[in-house]
Amino acid sequence: MNTVRVAALQMRSGMEVEGNVAAFEALVREAAGKGAVYVQSPEMTGILVRDRQTLFERIRPAEENPLVRRARALARELSLFLHVGSTAIPLDGGKVANRAFLFGPDGALIATYDKIHMFDVDLDKGESWRESATYAPGGETMVAALPFARLGLSVCYDLRFPQLFRAQALAGAEVLTVPAAFTRQTGEAHWHVLTRARAIENGAWLIAAAQGGRHEDGRETYGHSLIVDPWGRVVAEAGHDEPAVIIADIAPGAVAEARAKIPNLKNARDFAVSEAAYGQERAAS
């Protein structure tokens, strides 16, 4: 079975864009040196900062963005598919896009994707996030056709919405991607379960590059970047929260095998939802 070597970069991005770009480049070069032809970085590769004013002072439009420019050049120089998991891009109207970029080996931009689901949550120990206060949600998912597989794009909190990945799988996606900055609290509880579940229920490979450790703005992210096969087996993992490169040789043909064994994409049926309550007689059907 033909294989392709892929890599996920684990980072600890901070508040200084230049430093993040330098760290990104070093990890990309390491992955390329190990033979990877597809490389994915985490969510918010270019800057990770909670303060809104600081964020707006330091981010730039895509055409001027140092990370986007460097990623394009690296993809061309190293002749690989380079997937910037996401970075902050300013929009009109005072909001920001949490945007992924996928470049080809010629440096051409293949696709972008804006994170759809906003991380608006209230966790234990007083940890609270309101992503929608700063970021504007995207409105469409993306499946990119690469020479070795069709790639479904997502970002972080999207992982909790299985309908997104099911739509990608039905559109032919064989590799699902989940660049992330999972908090330590949610990562310890749910990261492995959710990534493996998305791979299993869609019979697809899943690549998830993650942020890890304590960041300059005080947040803690879980790390544990993963590559999961269509049967739900973890084939590569950074078993910690330190910066790292993980590598795996994935076989796109394994997708067809998994989907043939358990054809749940074909077996799914539409259904209605009814209600019943104690004390109310239900009509016989």
199-232 pLDDT, tens digit each: 999 999 999 999 999 999 999 999 999 999 999 9
Cα-flanking dihedrals φ and ψ of residue 282, to 5°?
-100, 130
For the question of residue 115 being annotated catalytic, the response is yes
Give 131's contacts (C-beta < 8 A, 6+ positions apart).
98, 118, 119, 120, 157
Cα 211 to Cα 142: distance, rounded to the nearest angstrom: 22
Q: Is the pLDDT of residue 67 over 70?
A: yes
Domains within the chain, CATH numbers bracketed = 4-267 (3.60.110.10)
Exactly one of 16, 95, 115, 257 is catalytic; which is it?
115
pLDDT band for position 120 (cuts 50, 70, 90): confident
DSSP string, 219-232: -EEE---EEE-TTS
The answer to whether 210 and 180 have CB atoms below 8 angstroms apart is yes
Cα 52 to Cα 115: distance, rounded to the nearest angstrom: 18
- The closest alpha carbon to 83, from 106, 104, 114, belongs to 104
For the question of residue 156 being annotated catalytic, the response is yes
- Give me the pLDDT at residue 284, please: 62
Exactly one of 18, 30, 43, 281 is catalytic; which is it?
43
Cα 50 to Cα 130: distance, rounded to the nearest angstrom: 10
Exactly one of 131, 156, 174, 237 is catalytic; which is it?
156
Give 56's contacts (C-beta < 8 A, 6+ positions apart).
90, 96
Q: What pTM was estimated for this model as a whole?
A: 0.96
Q: How large a percentage of the chain has pLDDT more than 70?
A: 99
